[in-house]
């Protein structure tokens, strides 16, 4: 039996009147997180790239939660313009945003650059979340107290940040790019917390551990796809239980006094020794703004 370490996350906190946007929410952890928010009365916006899957997820969420306040927005994290479109639509349709969950993450993509000149694995797993969070910060601040939950991975422990070669095709194996991206997610969370101190916006990162999902669905090699997804089915934890962690981080009042924290299994957890490298986190923040092409109009820091 797979151990359940999420009892500390369980609560009866209601989220009536709150607005939550969950990126990457048509299946797995993102879907279960959206379902948990919806069951607590929140207005939930689910964002993903496939319109058919989005509509099916919306219908399933309404049916399971008895909450009609579920909406969809299409976004493709392989395109920065698509993320900017999502942001524009959100500002036009939502007077407030209380919770942002960055759950988009995948493995097994091609070793190539996107149209934005970023490595596709880095853009989908890191730069997309950075851009979405940066651009939505003014709305989150206006809605404060609000929270951002960035989903990372234990793979960050194997990650490396080389600012001059983050997007080099052929430099890392597929899993290496994934680990680098998930390390960057944690470091960006740490740096953002410093920069938005006293704004009422808190940024948390989390390690979900192994989950019963089809995470390796993009692998071309059928043997390894079957083996790895089979291992997750055996050793992974149910997605609906893991989803209690991002919900806990989004809603528990005991966390109001905490900032720059990384969590696993409902407790503050060690992330990486890089977390104490203040020079690196600042340089990563600056480089990320440069690579996603933050304009003067978009830059709330300037």
Give the Cα separation of 230 and 8 in Å (integer).
Answer: 28
Collapse the DSSP code of 288 into the 3-class scheme (helix H, G, I; strand E, B; otherwise coil) and give the result.
Answer: helix
State the burial class of residue 169 (Cβ atoms within 10 Å of its Cβ: 0-12, 13-18, 19+). Answer: exposed
Which residue in the list 71, 126, 172, 178 is annotated as catalytic?
Answer: 178
The answer to whether residues 190 and 260 touch, using CB atoms and an 8 Å cutoff, is yes
Closest by CA to 121, choosing from 113, 129, 130, 131, is: 113
Residue pointed to by tokens 């019963």: 212
CA 218 distance to own-chain centroid: 19
Give the Cα separation of 8 and 82 in Å (integer).
Answer: 37
Report in angstroms the alpha-carbon separations of 65 from 2, 44, 60, 73, 206: 26, 11, 8, 19, 25
Give the Cα separation of 290 and 287 in Å (integer).
Answer: 5
The answer to whether residues 42 and 97 touch, using CB atoms and an 8 Å cutoff, is no
270 is an active site residue: no
Give the Cα separation of 197 and 206 in Å (integer).
Answer: 20
Q: Which residues contact 269 (CB under 8 A, 6 or more apart)?
A: 207, 262, 263
Collapse the DSSP code of 199 into the 3-class scheme (helix H, G, I; strand E, B; otherwise coil) and give the result.
Answer: coil
> Which residues are part of the catalytic machinery?
178
């Amino acid at each position: 039996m797979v151990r359940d370490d999420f009892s500390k996350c369980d609560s009866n906190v209601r989220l009536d009147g709150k607005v939550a946007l969950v990126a990457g929410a048509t299946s797995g952890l993102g879907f279960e997180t959206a379902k948990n928010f919806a069951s607590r009365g929140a207005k939930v916006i689910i964002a993903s790239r496939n319109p058919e899957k989005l509509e099916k997820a919306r219908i399933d969420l309404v049916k399971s939660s008895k909450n009609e306040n579920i909406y969809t927005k299409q976004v493709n994290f392989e395109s920065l313009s698509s993320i900017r479109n999502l942001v524009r639509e959100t500002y036009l349709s939502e007077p407030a945003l209380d919770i942002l969950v960055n759950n988009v993450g995948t493995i097994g993509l091609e070793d190539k650059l996107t149209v934005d000149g970023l490595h596709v694995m880095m853009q989908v797993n890191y730069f997309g979340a950075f851009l979405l969070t940066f651009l939505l910060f003014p709305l989150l601040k206006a809605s404060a107290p609000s929270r951002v939950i960035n989903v990372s991975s234990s793979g960050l422990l194997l990650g490396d940040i080389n600012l001059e070669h983050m997007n080099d095709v052929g430099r890392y194996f597929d899993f290496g790019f994934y680990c680098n991206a998930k390390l960057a997610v944690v470091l960006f969370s740490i740096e953002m917390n410093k920069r938005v101190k006293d704004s009422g916006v808190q940024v948390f990162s989390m390690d979900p551990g192994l989950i019963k999902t089809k995470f390796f669905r993009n692998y071309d090699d059928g043997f390894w796809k079957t083996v790895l997804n089979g291992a997750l089915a055996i050793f992974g934890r149910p997605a609906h239980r893991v989803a209690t962690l991002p919900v806990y981080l989004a809603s528990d009042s005991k966390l109001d006094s905490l900032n720059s924290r990384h969590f696993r299994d409902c407790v503050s957890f060690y992330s990486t020794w890089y977390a104490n490298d203040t020079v690196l986190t600042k340089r990563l923040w600056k480089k990320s703004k440069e690579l996603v092409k933050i304009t003067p109009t978009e830059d709330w820091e300037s």
